[in-house]
Amino acid sequence: MIRVALLLAFAASAYSHLCLLAPHQRGSSAGFNTPGADNCGLTASPCGGRPLGRPSVALPSGEKVNITIQKNLNHFNADKPGHFLVSYGSDEKMQAIGMTPDTNTSSPWIYELSVEIPRTEKHEMGIMQVQYVTSNPNAPAVFYQCADVAVVPRHH
């Protein structure tokens, strides 16, 4: 009986999850309010194995925007807390633009970060990537989500 309980506990921990709510993540977010949702448990770098898509939103160049993420399943490690990292760029090159520490919260839990979009002089397509770095030896090291975005220059 104890073996079955341990196996079930390990299986649940293997499905730690991260959803990107705004901008909307690539692919589906079906079930995101259920802890352990499949659409939020992507571990393949750089975008969870989901292919490039059309931009889901236009973001203003050089301005602050709010990014909304959901920790779909808690993998907080009190000995070495993890973090959420937001980056912008392309498949070849990502630039970190924001970070917030992981906290010991219930599942699911919403985090909102204010990040500055890099400046550009022309309209460009880019990728907003969020990583949940768990720092938990009993969970996958990193979970990924990406949103395809357009960055629009400001005109004075």
Q: How many domains does the chain have?
A: 1
Paired residues of 59 in beta bridges: 151
- Is the confidence at residue 32, as pLDDT, over 90? no
The pLDDT, as a whole number, for residue 156 is 53
How does the average pLDDT of the chain come out, rounded?
A: 88
The pLDDT, as a whole number, for residue 4 is 31
Nearest-angstrom CA–CA distance, 55 and 72: 24
Number of helices (H), then strands (E), belonging to the chain: the values are 1, 8
Tell me the residue length of the chain. Answer: 156
The pLDDT, as a whole number, for residue 13 is 37
The pLDDT, as a whole number, for residue 8 is 33
- Is the confidence at residue 10, as pLDDT, over 80? no
Instruction: Record the pTM.
Output: 0.86
Nearest-angstrom CA–CA distance, 125 and 61: 12
- Is the confidence at residue 114, as pLDDT, over 90? yes
Q: Domain containing 136 — which CATH number?
A: 2.60.40.2550
- Is the confidence at residue 78, as pLDDT, over 80? yes
Neighbours of 119 (CB within 10 A): 12
What domain range includes position 125? 2-152
The pLDDT, as a whole number, for residue 17 is 85
> Which pair of structure tokens corresponds to residue 75?
């993998």
Confidence of residue 134 (pLDDT cuts 50, 70, 90): very high
- Is the confidence at residue 39, as pLDDT, over 50? yes
Nearest-angstrom CA–CA distance, 5 and 104: 23
Confidence of residue 16 (pLDDT cuts 50, 70, 90): low
Handedness of CA 52, 47, 33, 125 (dihedral sign): negative
Q: Give which of 108, 100, 67 is closest to 81, Cα–Cα.
A: 100
